[in-house]
Amino acid sequence: MPYCTRCDRSFSSMRALWQHEADSSNHHICDDCDKDFPTWTGLKDHWVQSPRHSYCQYCDDHFPDSEDLEEHLKDSHHYCSSCRRVFKNDFGLKEHYRLSSAHQYCSPCDRHFQSASNLQTHLNSSIHRPKEVKCPFRCGMAFVSRSALVLHLEAGGCSSGIDRKTVNRYVRQFDKSGVITDPSRLLTSGSEDVTYMATRASWNGRGYECYLCDNEYSTLKGLNQHLTSPRHQEKVYICRGPSCGCRFVALSALVQHIESEKCGVLKYRAVQSTMDSLLGQMGRLTM
């Protein structure tokens, strides 16, 4: 005779037992897994934890597969897909983004970034920082950082006419101790930057080809712009961090690296003093 151990009852047939299990508050059955739980909470936990079930515990609803469940959570709940967590409200979700090391998130802008460096670049931009570094040549421009000022000068965008060659020449004269430059590279690169220039002889039948790196350009002007860029210049600037040694073609790149504090080189007094003196006297640059 069919018997229910949990309820200590006998039944005249299996059909009667099944009906009892379906109706009784002592039985909570998962038909897919053929499991019987003594409480509703036990059955619900099973649906949540089992990989066989795509179940939303907040809506008490089942979905055909995990992808459909994921879409539902994104559309209907405050859900972090990368951490697979649901929050009570939008504030809770954004606080999670702000506090979690797994997310590169700008809270004021409600924006996500792919890496910590991208987030830091955003935080250092004019969106979040005032433009307090003024150009010493009275061109009227101001910048959020000293690296941005140096880039402005190197790019030839200042009305003073200062360009990257002028900046490099000044640094060579200033950094006699080789705190931010590599003397051996300065010797091999000469006292001035090399300027490459291409002619129509660079046409290879498809485009104008750089004879240094084999890149192709549709116009001769484009190739010459490439050749006058820092791409093929000697990396004379060096970070003196004890575990760094990164090299750079342009002063602006080194300054940006130092400002990022990636290697902690700014805590060394010699580097800090050199950078402060060098950048503080930018106004003395002459053509």
Residues 65-94 pLDDT 10s:
999 999 999 999 999 999 989 999 999 999
What would the two tokens of residue 54 be? 């795509």
Classify strands 61-62 and 55-56 as parallel, antiparallel or unpaired.
antiparallel
Please tell me the distance from the alpha carbon of residue 175 to that of residue 274, in angstroms, as a whole number.
8
Whether residue 252 contacts residue 150, with contact meaning beta carbons closer than 8 Å, is answered with yes
Unique residue bearing structure tokens 């060098």: 278
221-to-164, 214, 243 alpha-carbon distances in Å: 19, 16, 41
Residues 244 and 158 reside in one and the same domain: yes
For residue 65, which amino acid is it? D
**Candidate from 54-58, 62-66, 155-159, 265-269 with smallest mean pLDDT:** 265-269
Please tell me the distance from the alpha carbon of residue 82 to that of residue 102, in angstroms, as a whole number.
9
**Candidate from 21-25, 124-128, 145-149 with smallest mean pLDDT:** 21-25
Beta bridge pairs of residue 10: 3
Q: Specify the pLDDT at position 287.
A: 55
Q: How confident is the model at residue 106 (pLDDT cuts 50, 70, 90)?
A: very high
- In this model, does residue 194 exceed pLDDT 70? no
Average of per-residue pLDDT across 198-207 = 87
Burial (CB count within 10 angstroms: exposed 0-12, middle 13-18, buried 19+), residue 119: middle
Residues 222 and 244 reside in one and the same domain: no
Q: Specify the pLDDT at position 286.
A: 64
Higher-confidence position of 31 and 103: 103
Q: Specify the pLDDT at position 165.
A: 85
Residues 239 and 177 reside in one and the same domain: yes
Sign (positive or negative) of CA dihedral 189, 192, 193, 198? negative
Please tell me the distance from the alpha carbon of residue 100 to that of residue 110, in angstroms, as a whole number.
14
Q: Specify the pLDDT at position 104.
A: 94
Domain with 181 in it: 133-194+233-284
Please tell me the distance from the alpha carbon of residue 77 to that of residue 80, in angstroms, as a whole number.
9
Q: In whole numbers, what is the pLDDT of the chain averaged over residues?
A: 85
Q: Count of domains in the chain?
A: 2
* Residue 258 within any structural domain of the chain: yes
* Residue 45 within any structural domain of the chain: no
* Residue 158 within any structural domain of the chain: yes
Higher-confidence position of 92 and 213: 92
At residue 94's C-alpha, the angle toward residues 88 and 99, to 5°, is 110
At residue 244's C-alpha, the angle toward residues 144 and 227, to 5°, is 65
Highest-confidence segment of 27-41, 99-113, 202-216, 222-236: 99-113
Residues 145 and 185 reside in one and the same domain: yes
Q: Specify the pLDDT at position 76.
A: 93
What would the two tokens of residue 95 be? 């606080």
